[in-house]
Chains A and B, each alone.
Chain A
Amino acid sequence: MTTELFTGAEMVVKSLSALKVKYIFGYPGGSVLDIYDAIFQQDEIEHILVRHEQAATHMADGYTRATGEVGVVLATSGPGATNCVTGIATAYYDSIPMVVLAGQVASTLIGNDAFQETDIVGCTRPIIKHSFNCRTLADIPDAIAKAFYLANTGRPGPVVIELPKDILLPDNKEPFTIDTEIKMRSYNPNIKGHPKQIRKAAQTIADAKKLVVYSGGGIVLSDASELLTELVETLQAPITNTLMGLGGISGTHKQFIGMLGMHGSLEANKTMANADVILALGARFDDRVTNNVEKFCPNATIIHVDIDPTSISKTINAHVPVVGLVDVVIQQLLDELKQIEYTPDEQALSQWWQQINLWRNVKSFSYQQEENGKIKPQRVVEAMYKITNGEAYVCSDVGQHQMFAAQHYPFAKPRQWINSGGLGTMGFGLPAAMGVKLAFPDKHVICITGDGSIQMNIQELSTCSQYSLPVVIVTLNNRSLGMVRQWQDMVYGGRHSSSYMESLPDFIKIAEAYGHVGIQIDTLDELDEKLTQAFNIKDRLVFVDVMVDEKEHVYPMQIRTGAVDEMWLKKGVKA
Chain B
Amino acid sequence: MRRILAILMENEPGSLSRIVGLFSQRAYNIESLTVAPTDDTSLSRMTIATKGDDKVLEQIVKQVNKLIDVIKITDITDRKHIERELLLVKVSAMNDKSRTEVKRITDIFRGNIIDIGKQVYTVQLTGNADKLNAFIDALQNETEIIESARSGCVGMARGDKALRL
Tell me which of B9, B55, B62 has the highest count of chain A C-beta atoms within 10 A of its own C-beta: B62
Judge whether B62 and A130 touch: CB under 8 Å.
no
Within 8 A of A (CB), among B1-36: 9-10, 13-14, 17-18, 21-22, 25
Judge whether B66 and A308 touch: CB under 8 Å.
yes
Judge whether B68 and A130 touch: CB under 8 Å.
yes
Q: Which of chain A's residues have a CB closer than 8 A to the CB of B69?
A: 186
Supposing A185-B165, A310-B66, A314-B59 touch, asked if A122 and B71 sit within 8 A by C-beta, the answer is no
Q: Which of chain A's residues have a CB closer than 8 A to the CB of B71?
A: 185-186
**Residue-wise interface mask of A (118-136) relative to B, using a CB-CB cutoff of 8 A (1 in contact, 0 not):** 0001100110011101000
Judge whether B68 and A186 touch: CB under 8 Å.
yes
In the complex, whether A115 has a CB less than 8 A from a CB of chain B is no
In the complex, whether A150 has a CB less than 8 A from a CB of chain B is yes
Judge whether B21 and A309 touch: CB under 8 Å.
no
Judge whether A186 and B25 touch: CB under 8 Å.
no
Judge whether B21 and A187 touch: CB under 8 Å.
no
Judge whether A126 and B25 touch: CB under 8 Å.
yes
Within 8 A of A (CB), among B111-162: none
Q: Which of chain A's residues have a CB closer than 8 A to the CB of B17?
A: 122, 125
Shortest Cβ gap from A184 to chain B (Å):
7
In the complex, whether B49 has a CB less than 8 A from a CB of chain A is no
Which of these, A150, A184, A185, A310, contacts B59 with CB under 8 Å? Answer: A310
Q: Is the interface of A mostly helix, strand, loop or mixed?
A: mixed
Count of A-B contacts judged by CB separation below 8 Å: 35
Tell me which of A121, A309, A310 has the highest count of chain B C-beta atoms within 10 A of its own C-beta: A310
In the complex, whether A197 has a CB less than 8 A from a CB of chain B is no
Q: Which of chain A's residues have a CB closer than 8 A to the CB of B70?
A: 186
Shortest Cβ gap from A423 to chain B (Å):
15
Judge whether A309 and B65 touch: CB under 8 Å.
yes
Q: Which of chain A's residues have a CB closer than 8 A to the CB of B59?
A: 310, 314
Docked Cα-Cα span, A495 to B71, in Å, equals: 53
Cβ-closest chain B residue relative to A189:
B66
Cβ-closest chain A residue relative to B15:
A186
Docked Cα-Cα span, A309 to B66, in Å, equals: 8
Cβ-closest chain B residue relative to A135:
B13
Judge whether B9 and A133 touch: CB under 8 Å.
no
Supposing A122-B17, A185-B165 touch, asked if A129 and B62 sit within 8 A by C-beta, the answer is no
Q: Which of chain B's residues have a CB closer than 8 A to the CB of A186?
A: 9-10, 68-71
Judge whether A131 and B165 touch: CB under 8 Å.
no
Q: Which of chain A's residues have a CB closer than 8 A to the CB of B21?
A: 125-126
Q: Which of chain B's residues have a CB closer than 8 A to the CB of A184?
A: 68
Judge whether A310 and B14 touch: CB under 8 Å.
no
Judge whether A129 and B63 touch: CB under 8 Å.
no
Which of these, A125, A187, A310, contacts B63 with CB under 8 Å? Answer: A310
Q: Which of chain B's residues have a CB closer than 8 A to the CB of A129?
A: 68
Shortest Cβ gap from B99 to chain A (Å):
47
Docked Cα-Cα span, A130 to B10, in Å, equals: 13
Shortest Cβ gap from A194 to chain B (Å):
16
Docked Cα-Cα span, A60 to B65, in Å, equals: 29
Docked Cα-Cα span, A185 to B62, in Å, equals: 17
In the complex, whether B107 has a CB less than 8 A from a CB of chain A is no
Docked Cα-Cα span, A203 to B66, in Å, equals: 30
In the complex, whether A313 has a CB less than 8 A from a CB of chain B is yes
Docked Cα-Cα span, A133 to B62, in Å, equals: 25
Docked Cα-Cα span, A131 to B18, in Å, equals: 10
Q: Which of chain A's residues have a CB closer than 8 A to the CB of B13?
A: 133
Shortest Cβ gap from B44 to chain A (Å):
11
Judge whether A131 and B66 touch: CB under 8 Å.
no
Docked Cα-Cα span, A140 to B70, in Å, equals: 22
Supposing A186-B9, A310-B63 touch, asked if A121 and B14 sit within 8 A by C-beta, the answer is yes
Shortest Cβ gap from A147 to chain B (Å):
11
Tell me which of B9, B13, B21, B66 has the highest count of chain A C-beta atoms within 10 A of its own C-beta: B66
Within 8 A of B (CB), among A133-154: 133, 150
Q: Which of chain A's residues have a CB closer than 8 A to the CB of B9?
A: 186
Shortest Cβ gap from A144 to chain B (Å):
15
Docked Cα-Cα span, A125 to B63, in Å, equals: 14
Tell me which of A125, A186, A309 has the highest count of chain B C-beta atoms within 10 A of its own C-beta: A186
**Residue-wise interface mask of A (289-331) relative to B, using a CB-CB cutoff of 8 A (1 in contact, 0 not):** 0000000000000000000111001100000000000000000
**Residue-wise interface mask of A (156-188) relative to B, using a CB-CB cutoff of 8 A (1 in contact, 0 not):** 000000000000000000000000000011110
Within 8 A of A (CB), among B52-92: 55, 58-59, 62-63, 65-66, 68-71
Cβ-closest chain B residue relative to A310:
B62
Docked Cα-Cα span, A314 to B63, in Å, equals: 10
Q: Which of chain B's residues have a CB closer than 8 A to the CB of A314?
A: 59
Docked Cα-Cα span, A380 to B59, in Å, equals: 44
Cβ-closest chain B residue relative to A185:
B71
Docked Cα-Cα span, A131 to B22, in Å, equals: 14
Shortest Cβ gap from B6 to chain A (Å):
15
Shortest Cβ gap from B35 to chain A (Å):
16
Interface residues, chain A, with chain B CB atoms under 8 Å away: 121-122, 125-126, 129-131, 133, 150, 184-187, 308-310, 313-314
User: What 6 pairs across the A-B complex have the smallest Cβ distances?
Assistant: A130-B68, A310-B62, A186-B71, A126-B25, A309-B62, A125-B21
Interface residues, chain B, with chain A CB atoms under 8 Å away: 9-10, 13-14, 17-18, 21-22, 25, 55, 58-59, 62-63, 65-66, 68-71, 165
7 further A-B pairs in the complex, CB-CB below 8 A; given A126-B22, A187-B68, A309-B65: A131-B14, A133-B14, A184-B68, A186-B10, A309-B66, A310-B62, A313-B58
17 A-B pairs (CB sep. < 8 Å): A121-B14, A126-B21, A126-B22, A126-B25, A131-B14, A185-B71, A186-B9, A186-B10, A186-B68, A186-B71, A187-B68, A309-B62, A309-B66, A310-B59, A310-B63, A313-B55, A314-B59
